[in-house]
Amino acid sequence: MQVHVQLFANLRDCLPEGSQRGRAIVELSESASLADVFKFLDVERCISGSDSFAEQISAWQISVNGEFTQDLGAGLHDGDQVIVFPHMAGG
């Protein structure tokens, strides 16, 4: 199935080569979950800091088809849209 992914900030570096404006369409298995999107893109390699991946991701805003979620086990469907805003420092 195809899932539309849009990543912001430093996470854009995780998208496949040729992606434009932080967006890509990724091909996943029919039983894929939100966690599988992060595994497929190897998002862990694109983050920095002393906090674990699980701690960092818990601060992110993750939207699936316009609904915010933190449930990485949530199943996805063909054509779903996943948008991820990582926590950003500053004020």
Fold for domain 2-85?
A: Ubiquitin-like (UB roll) (3.10.20)
pTM of the entire structure? 0.89
Structure confidence by residue, pLDDT tens digits, 36-73: 999 999 998 888 776 777 888 888 999 999 999 999 99
Q: Compute the average pLDDT of residues 19-40.
A: 95
CB-facing half-sphere around the CA of 41: CA atoms within 13 A? 30
Other beta carbons less than 10 A from residue 24's beta carbon: 19
Three-class DSSP category at 67: strand
Q: List CB contacts of 2: < 8 A, sequence separation 6 or more.
A: 25, 26, 27, 28, 78, 79
Both structure tokens of 88: 């950003």
Angstrom distance (rounded) from CA 19 to CA 49? 25
Domain boundaries, the chain: 2-85
What does the DSSP 8-state code read for residue 43? G
